[in-house]
Amino acid sequence: MKPRRRLITVIAAGLFGSILVPLLAPPASAAASSVSCRSSSHPVLAARLDRDIDRALRGRGSAVAVGVDDPGRRLQCWLNSSAHFDSASVVKVTILSALLRKAQEQHRYLTRTEALLAKEMITESDNYAASALWDDVGRYDLQHFLNLARMTQTYLGPGPYWGLTQITAYNEVLLLRLLVNQNRVLDTSSRDYALGLMARVIPAQRWGVPAGAPTSLTVHVKNGWLPLLTHGWRIHSIGTFTGPGGGYSIVVLTEDNPTMTYGIDTIEAIARAINHDLNPAARSRVPSSEFSPSWGTPDESIPTVADISGAR
């Protein structure tokens, strides 16, 4: 899959400073069309993941990008890591992170209104809340956060269309790393705040990467779902898993799905393979998602070509 042309010119990267979060090495072959798992300390596990993710993908018609990051095992898996996808609602984690960074720089807590909007945006995927915070944070500070986070492959959506932000699996893994590791971009209270909201996503929206994870772990997840005329349904799931035996993240981005259910099935087949291989002794696991009446309803307004052109 070839990365799409940028919608927005990226502002030059700002000063990042020394960081405490372990650096995430770019994939050896960012455009690889097959799964590549590597671990210097757990090569057998990496080979098993390589095989099982490949098996989960067989016969699926979706275009897929995958990122797996387990710093404790020095393990990473990549598939189409630099391919660009319309973000749909997974960008809401970026919006929240930029809001928290802006508040840090202003040496203040979130206002009562900001906190309410953040809760609705993450736990319920409320679009009005996302639009309000997209405007409240502003493009300058959204891009400022991307620069600090070194998310150089992420391009903000045109005008008000946050759901058309261009994202990659590699950059989404970078974002999750910032949330679970000490660093100089987001302080401990900001990271705890974001992870706390992601742990309280409503049940109907907890499909995707949690499938197959041990129930003993805390799952922090955000999903996105959006159909457009080209490439069908965009169905994405990003999440990180904390607790005893946890400390890893999974990103699965998909498009060319004929239905929302098809995309969820694709993601959960991949997630089950990953979660099982990383936790072979788990006695109780998160089951595959049951169909919800809300599936099939777009998560946000579907813009027309004219809308997008006018917003640039």
- DSSP structure string for 23-74: P-PPPTTTT-SS-EEEESS-HHHHHHHHHHHHHHHTT--SEEEEEEEEGGGT
Residue 205 confidence class, pLDDT cut points 50, 70, 90: very high
Q: What was the pLDDT predicted at 295?
A: 83
Looking at residues 249-269, what average pLDDT do you find?
A: 97
pLDDT(305) > 90: no
The least confident of 15-29, 148-162, 191-205 is 15-29
Interstrand relation of 75-79 and 233-242 (parallel, antiparallel or unpaired): unpaired
Residue 52 confidence class, pLDDT cut points 50, 70, 90: very high
Taking Cα atoms as reference points, which of 91, 101, 231 lies closest to residue 161? 91
pLDDT(304) > 80: no
Distance between CA atoms of 301 and 163, rounded to whole angstroms? Answer: 9
Q: What was the pLDDT predicted at 309?
A: 55
DSSP 187-210: -HHHHHHHHHHHTT--GGG--STT
Looking at residues 1-28, what average pLDDT do you find?
A: 44
Burial of residue 187, with CB atoms counted within 10 A of its CB: 0-12 exposed, 13-18 middle, 19 or more buried:
middle
Q: What was the pLDDT predicted at 311?
A: 59
Taking Cα atoms as reference points, which of 309, 312, 311, 14 lies closest to residue 152? 14
Residue 1 confidence class, pLDDT cut points 50, 70, 90: very low
Q: What was the pLDDT predicted at 294?
A: 81
Q: What was the pLDDT predicted at 105?
A: 98
Distance between CA atoms of 135 and 132, rounded to whole angstroms? Answer: 5
Q: What was the pLDDT predicted at 251?
A: 98
The helix/strand/coil state of 256 is strand
How many angstroms from the chain centroid is the CA of residue 178? 12
The least confident of 193-207, 232-246, 298-312 is 298-312
Backbone angles phi, psi at 37, to 5 degrees: -110, 135
Q: What was the pLDDT predicted at 302?
A: 66
Which two tokens mark 172?
Answer: 């989404």
Angle between helix 127-148 and 91-105 (nearest 10): 70
Q: What b/e sequence results for 277-287 when a residue is b if at least 16 CB atoms lie within 10 Å of its CB, and e otherwise? A: bbbeebeebbe
Q: What was the pLDDT predicted at 26?
A: 67
Burial of residue 19, with CB atoms counted within 10 A of its CB: 0-12 exposed, 13-18 middle, 19 or more buried:
middle
pLDDT tens digits, one per residue of 133-158: 999 999 999 999 999 999 999 999 99
Average pLDDT, the chain: 89
pLDDT(164) > 70: yes
Taking Cα atoms as reference points, which of 167, 5, 7 lies closest to residue 89? 167
pLDDT(303) > 70: no
pLDDT tens digits, one per residue of 280-297: 999 999 999 988 888 888
Q: What was the pLDDT predicted at 15?
A: 29
Sign of the four-CA dihedral 116, 113, 148, 1 = positive
pLDDT tens digits, one per residue of 265-276: 999 999 999 999
